[in-house]
A = this chain, B = another copy of it.
């Protein structure tokens, strides 16, 4: 079953929205073992949407369209599908009723324009909207399936999972499954990884290995093709073990897991509580930690000590330390970590202070310079790094390094048999 994706929307071509739908559809098709060889984005233009559909029909067994199903003049996906398949558009009474009911609250006099959303290509099956008045639909054409959903991500994802993928799976005859696993790596460059595992890469044909560059880390994708899910997983597991033996603790997470969820698991396993003291990241580390469900079990909270006065008031950093060493210094980071651990009464506290830019750098302390400190009952560990990129990059890389520092400490502590934090 070969699928293609066509995302409709001038805002995507103009870069005004980011195409999360392409990503979400990719993830879900791959998980369902359905091949996808091409994604196309076209604007709100009848001829170009129809041309994209016709081109895709020459290559694919199924086409998934997103966007262009609303009620405005530039919502043209219904018309384009009808044109490409030479089908008339027909009103669907059930949709007319549903749209009138939904609109009663907001627009008592539903216009003809709004009611365009009740029109579908002849023979299409409507997918009921839950968020607005734009229905999705599926239509079969010469043994091929054409599905369309609104562009709103939540609605697209729901229709894809509940209505479209189940139909595609029924239509899939090959029975082959492609599964992938991603090993995320922190602390090695792509080329250093390749040097360490080149022989494993070269020896493989199934699974295949491919390096990926991600934000603040690199990764290796292991992809296996097999008749069923269990066989694919078994193929992946062998290679994963071999890579883990080489790369050890540099591997920090698998698949959709992130640094923050790994840190969370280690904290839970060792029954330790955590506080944060953030200057340069302004709350980003706390945000990442608390984006993990269940984080209230180990994360007490933190202090965002953006201003130097707050470092003194809430974290008890010495005015003298700030004066002699500056806010961006190892002594300040240490005192911030110790201060957060004391103020919040936790087992561990991590602190970061640095220069995010674009201003505030000097020859001695350039933009991107960050100091880190981790305070525990037994010790205070300190470190520093200089990161490159824009303000947003530097802040993200800082949060990634801080969480990794915590992860490595917790791994080491577990190996020492859970000595006192």
Main secondary structure of the interface of A (DSSP, over half): mixed
A300-B309 in contact given A16-B27, A40-B40, A107-B195 (Cβ < 8 Å): yes
Q: Among residues 24 to 63 in chain A, which have CB atoms less than 8 Å away from a CB atom of chain B?
A: 24-30, 36-45, 48, 52, 55
| A 1-39 to B, binary, CB cutoff 8 A, 1 in contact else 0 | 000000000111111111110111111111000001111
The answer to whether the Cβ of A216 comes within 8 Å of any Cβ in the partner chain is no
For A305, the chain B residues whose CB sits under 8 A away are 301
* Contact status B15-A30, CB under 8 Å: yes
The closest CB in chain B to the CB of A3 belongs to B13
The answer to whether the Cβ of A136 comes within 8 Å of any Cβ in the partner chain is no
A72-B210 in contact given A37-B43, A283-B290, A286-B282 (Cβ < 8 Å): yes
Select which of B17, B26, B282, B310 is within 8 A of A212 by beta carbon. B17
* Contact status A313-B15, CB under 8 Å: no
Number of copies: 2
Q: How far is the CB of A291 from chain B (nearest CB, A)?
A: 6
The answer to whether the Cβ of A391 comes within 8 Å of any Cβ in the partner chain is yes
For A212, the chain B residues whose CB sits under 8 A away are 11, 16-17
* Contact status B40-A313, CB under 8 Å: no
Select which of B48, B74, B302 is within 8 A of A210 by beta carbon. B74
* Contact status A304-B306, CB under 8 Å: no
For A278, the chain B residues whose CB sits under 8 A away are 283, 286
For A13, the chain B residues whose CB sits under 8 A away are 26, 36-39
For A190, the chain B residues whose CB sits under 8 A away are 70, 132
* Contact status A304-B283, CB under 8 Å: yes
The answer to whether the Cβ of A284 comes within 8 Å of any Cβ in the partner chain is yes
For A106, the chain B residues whose CB sits under 8 A away are 189, 191-192, 195
In the assembled complex, the Cα of A291 lies from the Cα of B314 at a distance in Å of 22
Select which of B213, B307, B344 is within 8 A of A300 by beta carbon. B307
The answer to whether the Cβ of A329 comes within 8 Å of any Cβ in the partner chain is no
* Contact status B314-A295, CB under 8 Å: no
Query: Interface size bucket, A side?
Result: 35 or more
Q: Among residues 194 to 217 in chain A, which have CB atoms less than 8 Å away from a CB atom of chain B?
A: 194-195, 201, 208, 210-214
* Contact status A182-B306, CB under 8 Å: no
The answer to whether the Cβ of A299 comes within 8 Å of any Cβ in the partner chain is yes
In the assembled complex, the Cα of A224 lies from the Cα of B193 at a distance in Å of 49
In the assembled complex, the Cα of A283 lies from the Cα of B395 at a distance in Å of 13
In the assembled complex, the Cα of A38 lies from the Cα of B13 at a distance in Å of 7
Q: Among residues 248 to 284 in chain A, which have CB atoms less than 8 Å away from a CB atom of chain B?
A: 276, 278, 281-284
The answer to whether the Cβ of A364 comes within 8 Å of any Cβ in the partner chain is no
For A94, the chain B residues whose CB sits under 8 A away are none
In the assembled complex, the Cα of A344 lies from the Cα of B154 at a distance in Å of 39
The answer to whether the Cβ of A368 comes within 8 Å of any Cβ in the partner chain is no
The answer to whether the Cβ of A285 comes within 8 Å of any Cβ in the partner chain is yes
For A300, the chain B residues whose CB sits under 8 A away are 306-307, 309-310
For A310, the chain B residues whose CB sits under 8 A away are 300-301, 344
* Contact status A291-B344, CB under 8 Å: no
A-B residue pairs in contact (CB < 8 Å), sample of 13: A12-B23, A13-B36, A15-B24, A17-B212, A17-B214, A18-B18, A37-B42, A72-B211, A132-B190, A283-B287, A286-B286, A287-B395, A313-B343
6 closest A-B pairs by CB: A282-B290, A283-B286, A15-B26, A283-B283, A15-B27, A39-B41
Beyond the given A13-B39, A14-B223, please list 4 additional residue pairs across the A-B interface where CB-CB is below 8 A: A11-B212, A55-B55, A151-B213, A314-B344
